[in-house]
């Protein structure tokens, strides 16, 4: 894959995130590891109409903006902190899905045991304590949780998901929002989650 093709993929998945109602016009950000460079969506642009030419480049080791004509996302440090902590992660998706965001402001946890897919992809979803968006403190907090999780809630903020590929990270984010919605709806319908024995079997499939 060329860097141009990689940038086009980042732009495509940002558009998918917006088109599926998982973020607002200028909210959220997506990145991809490309060798020693991080490709990331810019700040202040319509996330539903990005192209490869809009995607910024950042030196992973130093954090330097290699495309100074582009304004970096305020969450660049958060994305970079995940890559520095997780060598197996090549893509990060951060957005503000409605139902997941509801649970970022609640003491209740998202129940990932209602369907097998969410437990398989997400295990249990933890919440990163509130840190102001776009700050080094938020980046540090996410980095602390990243080694043990592939999807996280950010208290009073949003959600973030990681993966070896963009489709894997996006799939986790979409599954997280589905699990949040199911948890919310489960208050209206009697439900039962997958039992411990079956959860253990699912865990062995990861």
Spatial distance between the Cα atoms of 106 and 116, rounded to a whole number of angstroms: 24
Mapping DSSP to helix (H, G, I), strand (E, B) and coil, where does residue 155 land?
coil
Rounded to the nearest 5°, which phi and psi values hold at 66? -85, -5
C-alpha Rg value of the chain to the nearest Å: 17
Q: CA 111, CA 108: separation in Å to the nearest integer?
A: 9
Question: Which residues partner with 8 through β-bridges?
Answer: none
Residue listed under structure tokens 């810019």: 42
* 159 DSSP 8-state letter: E
The tokens describing 168, both together, are 């894997």
Strand pairing of 91-95 and 56-59?
A: unpaired
Active-site residues, by number, are 75
């Amino acid at each position: 894959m060329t860097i141009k093709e990689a940038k086009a993929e980042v732009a495509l998945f940002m558009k998918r995130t917006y088109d599926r109602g998982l973020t607002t016009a200028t909210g959220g950000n997506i990145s991809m590891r490309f060798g020693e460079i991080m490709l990331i969506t810019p700040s202040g642009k319509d996330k539903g109409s990005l192209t490869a030419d809009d995607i910024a480049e950042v030196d992973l080791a130093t954090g330097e903006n290699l495309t100074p004509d582009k304004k970096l996302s305020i969450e660049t440090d958060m994305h970079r902190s995940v890559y520095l902590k997780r060598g197996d992660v090549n893509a990060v998706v951060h957005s503000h899905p409605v139902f997941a965001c509801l649970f970022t402001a609640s003491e209740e946890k998202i129940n990932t045991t209602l369907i097998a897919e969410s437990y398989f992809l997400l295990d249990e979803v933890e919440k990163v304590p509130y840190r102001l968006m776009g700050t080094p403190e938020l980046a540090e907090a996410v980095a602390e949780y990243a080694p043990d999780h592939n999807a996280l809630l950010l208290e009073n903020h949003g959600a973030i998901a990681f993966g070896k590929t963009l489709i894997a990270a996006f799939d986790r984010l979409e599954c997280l929002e589905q699990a949040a919605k199911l948890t919310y709806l489960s208050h209206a319908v009697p439900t039962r989650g997958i039992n411990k024995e079956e959860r253990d079997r699912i865990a062995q499939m990861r």
